[in-house]
């Protein structure tokens, strides 16, 4: 039988259908009774249960994984990428107090590689199930000529909900409030363009390299899964949490001001924790100054919680985190010391 013309042009529709049919159970395992309709429809159907909420507000976000994908390509490992994307999106809505409802993904490549596709989808499903988030739809695009062989791109969109009275918007932040830092799991999904330039281009390291102070290989370190902080945040005492900042691109310097009143600064004590060895290596080998390191990378702090002083001890006990600073009078900026 002759090869179909579309497949000969680089888009194998039959292979795509075959691969997607094999992941049905993975997706169904993330579904609760709120998900309606069959998998693979033109749109995902979700019937939310807003009982117990006085004024439910939907919260949405969309993101990608950035050039962390390049590390996955070089390592030949794709099982963490889907988890990174889901957890990043969950954290982005968790900072306003929302819990996730459902997630949709987009995966594009020059040609569909079933083994790679399955690894990524397993990551989506694993993180969605762990985060209480239904994976209700997605799009897989084969686009020959758009991507290099063996490369792909992923993006995801999430929708969550929060009761309007419980929205975290920074309006309750006051002078004297405590900044609690939740540890990151490495670089998470930001700063990889600089990290790759220093580690792979300047130092000529390979993903299989071993580095002092880093467990496992360099590839293992760079592919650590972006943490999901939402379950921990949701379990905090009511009203204890005044605001939160997900420390992604822009680091502590650019992300904390998003939740600061115009008359307050976030004063960070950088001696309160030790940055993981991977950040020290990047900064030293790349000759990156301290200020820029804190603007590009999370430096070991993946989420910052702002709580009042009276609640701090309870939050610290529950999160097993540490105080990294305080709110001081100012002009809405971050001050490192």
Domain positions in the chain are 5-166, 178-336
pLDDT in tens, 223-263: 999 999 999 999 998 889 999 999 999 999 999 999 999 99
pLDDT number for residue 3? 66
Q: Which helix (H) or strand (E) holds 87?
A: helix 81-94
pLDDT number for residue 7? 67
Q: Which range has the worst mean pLDDT, 5-14, 36-45, 149-158, 275-284?
A: 5-14
pLDDT number for residue 42? 83
Handedness of CA 161, 61, 301, 123 (dihedral sign): positive
Question: Which residues fall within 8 angstroms of residue 298, CB to CB, at 6 or more apart?
Answer: 184, 187, 188, 190, 191, 247, 248, 251, 252
Residue 32: both structure tokens together: 């609760």
pLDDT in tens, 40-69: 778 899 999 999 999 999 999 999 999 999
- Asked if residue 2 has pLDDT above 60, the reply is no
Topology of domain 178-336 in CATH is Phosphoribosyl-aminoimidazole Synthetase; Chain A, domain 2 (3.90.650)
Neighbours of 146 (CB within 10 A): 13
pLDDT in tens, 143-188: 999 999 999 999 999 999 999 999 999 999 999 999 999 999 999 9
Q: How far apart are CA 170 and CA 139, in angstroms?
A: 36
CATH architecture of 5-166: 2-Layer Sandwich (3.30)
pLDDT-derived band at 299 (thresholds 50, 70, 90) equals very high
Matching CATH topology for 5-166 and 178-336?
no
pLDDT number for residue 267? 98
Between the CA atoms of 76, 79, 83 and 86, what dihedral angle is there, to the nearest 10 degrees?
70
Identify the DSSP state of 37.
Answer: S
């Amino acid at each position: 039988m002759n090869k179909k013309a579309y497949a000969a042009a680089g888009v194998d529709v039959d292979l795509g259908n075959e691969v997607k049919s094999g992941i049905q159970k993975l997706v169904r395992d993330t579904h609760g009774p709120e998900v309606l309709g069959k998998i693979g429809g033109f749109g995902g159907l979700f019937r939310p249960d807003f009982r117990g909420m006085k004024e439910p507000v939907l919260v949405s976000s969309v993101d990608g994984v950035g050039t962390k994908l390049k590390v996955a390509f070089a390592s030949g490992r794709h099982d963490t990428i889907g988890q990174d994307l889901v957890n990043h999106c969950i954290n982005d809505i968790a900072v306003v107090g929302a819990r996730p409802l459902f997630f949709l993904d987009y995966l594009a490549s020059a040609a569909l590689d079933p083994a790679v596709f399955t690894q990524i989808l397993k990551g989506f499903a694993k993180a969605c199930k762990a985060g209480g988030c239904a994976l209700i739809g997605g799009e897989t695009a084969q686009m020959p000529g758009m991507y290099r062989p063996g490369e792909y791109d992923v993006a995801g969109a999430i929708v969550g909900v929060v009761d309007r009275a419980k929205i975290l918007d920074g309006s309750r932040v006051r002078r004297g409030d405590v900044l609690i830092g939740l540890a990151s799991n490495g670089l998470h999904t930001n700063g990889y363009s600089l990290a790759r330039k220093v580690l792979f281009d300047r130092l000529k390291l390979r993903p299989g390299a071993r580095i002092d102070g880093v467990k496992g290989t360099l590839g293992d370190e760079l592919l650590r899964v972006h943490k999901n902080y939402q379950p921990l945040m949701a379990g905090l005492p009511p009203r204890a949490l005044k605001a939160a900042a997900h420390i992604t691109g822009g680091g502590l310097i650019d992300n904390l001001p998003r939740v600061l009143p115009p008359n307050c600064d976030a004063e960070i004590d950088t001696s309160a924790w030790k940055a993981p060895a991977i950040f020290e290596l990047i900064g030293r080998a790349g000759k990156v100054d301290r200020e820029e390191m804190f603007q590009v990378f999370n430096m070991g702090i993946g989420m910052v919680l702002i709580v009042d002083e009276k609640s701090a001890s309870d939050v610290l006990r529950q999160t097993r985190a540490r105080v990294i600073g305080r709110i001081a009078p100012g002009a809405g900026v971050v001050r490192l010391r």
